[in-house]
């Protein structure tokens, strides 16, 4: 039986790979995509999601636009890593979508899909957590319809936007706190400590580009992002953060997890948006599952294999 899957996203280069991996994975049925502000403006994230689904031959999947800003305080700035249009300046190399976004807003689409699904739905938030916090606040009874939230976000040992804050949590710390701390939905949190270790090389990208026109298009979206990660990693590669979360969603258990209580710093100061993980022994056994390790080469091979097969089927 396939697992129904919804992706909440702010495409975003690594979001593009994450969407492609979901489409390429027979274990899951991608039943909806919701968008959120984040890497670029909400208009661009929605347009990019529509274009990516057109590339992937899945224009049947509804795309609903969500939050245009954080819950409480305005976002200080957008990410620079993904280029001005969110896809390294190459969004217009993707096919023009033949349809617009769904008439419903993101929270309404999430609600409708959760209510209609035959079995509990896996939701994969790979942007700021604003839509998910709004969903849980407005429709708390739907928690039981969520099998698991597999969230890309946070850094246990440091951040990428500030010394302690990772982009998705930093973009809306109050929403992240609502979802990770105040609710009791099963969560697997995939932090940047692990996703950075799963970075892929330029050779991996070249191999994907050679598999099909779709693979080549995906790799064509990477130049600005790759340039940022070259500086960040110190070698010629890039982190596929969001695709690692989707990999865990389609193959539960692919990532090794440890359960710890967490909190999110919401005060205004140098720690804002930081993830606090309580690793004290006496608190083990409660909290959220944090992905801490994986067979990294196996994971890279799995993603490459899936994305390559997608191209062949096109
Ligand atoms: C996260 O931030 C975004 O820039 C990426 O798309 C990913 O979701 C990594 O910190
Ligand atoms: Ca993202």
Residue 80: nearest ligand to its CA? 1
Question: How buried is 251 (Cβ within 10 angstroms: 0-12 exposed, 13-18 middle, 19+ buried)?
Answer: middle
With a CB cutoff of 8 Å and minimum separation 6, the contacts of 76 are none
Q: How many Cβ atoms are within 10 Å of 64's Cβ, its own excluded?
A: 24
Mean pLDDT (the chain) is 96
263-286 average pLDDT score: 91
Residues 6+ away with beta carbon under 8 Å from 188:
148, 149, 150, 151, 245, 248, 255, 257, 288, 289, 290, 291
Q: Is the pTM of this model over 0.85?
A: yes
Taking residues 195-212, what's their average pLDDT?
97
Of the listed ligands, the closest to the CA of 37 is: 2
Pocket of ligand 1 (CB under 6 A): 12, 14-15, 39, 79, 81, 126-127, 152, 160, 166-168, 192, 241-242
262 forms beta bridges with 277
Q: Name the band, by pLDDT with cuts 50, 70 and 90, for residue 113.
A: very high
Q: How confident is the model at residue 76 (pLDDT cuts 50, 70, 90)?
A: confident
Q: Given 82, 139, 141, 241, which residue is catalytic?
A: 241
Is 90 catalytic? The answer is: no
Residue 164's pLDDT is what?
A: 98
Just give the CATH number of 3-313.
3.90.245.10
Q: What is the pLDDT of residue 77?
A: 74
Whether the predicted pLDDT of 313 surpasses 50: no
């Amino acid at each position: 039986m396939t697992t129904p899957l919804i992706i909440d996203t702010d495409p975003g280069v690594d979001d593009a790979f994450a969407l492609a991996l979901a489409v390429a994975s027979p274990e899951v049925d991608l039943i909806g995509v919701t968008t959120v502000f984040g890497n670029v403006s909400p208009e661009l994230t929605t347009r990019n999601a529509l274009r990516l689904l057109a590339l992937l031959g899945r224009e049947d999947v509804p795309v609903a636009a969500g939050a245009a800003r954080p819950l409480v305080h305005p976002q200080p700035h957008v990410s620079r890593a993904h280029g001005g249009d969110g896809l390294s300046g190459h969004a217009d190399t993707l096919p023009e979508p033949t349809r617009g976004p769904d008439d419903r807003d993101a929270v309404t689409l999430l609600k409708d899909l959760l209510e209609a699904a035959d079995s509990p739905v896996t939701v994969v938030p790979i942007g700021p957590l604003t839509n998910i916090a709004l969903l849980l606040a407005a429709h708390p009874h739907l928690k039981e319809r969520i099998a698991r939230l597999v969230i890309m976000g946070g850094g246990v040992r440091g951040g990428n936007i500030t010394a302690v804050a990772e982009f998705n949590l930093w973009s809306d710390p109050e929403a992240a706190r609502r979802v990770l701390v105040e609710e009791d939905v099963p969560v697997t949190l995939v932090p940047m400590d692990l996703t950075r270790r799963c970075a892929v090389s330029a050779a991996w990208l070249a191999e994907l580009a050679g598999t099909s026109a779709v693979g080549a298009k995906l790799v064509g979206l990477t130049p600005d992002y790759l340039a940022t990660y070259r500086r960040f990693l110190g070698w010629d590669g890039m982190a596929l953060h969001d695709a690692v979360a989707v990999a865990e969603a389609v193959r539960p258990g692919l990532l090794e997890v440890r359960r710890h209580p967490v909190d999110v710093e919401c005060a205004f100061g140098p720690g804002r948006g930081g993830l606090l993980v309580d690793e004290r022994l006496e608190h083990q056994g409660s909290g959220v599952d944090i992905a801490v390790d994986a067979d990294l080469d196996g994971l890279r091979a799995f993603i490459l294999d899936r994305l390559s097969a997608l191209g062949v089927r096109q």
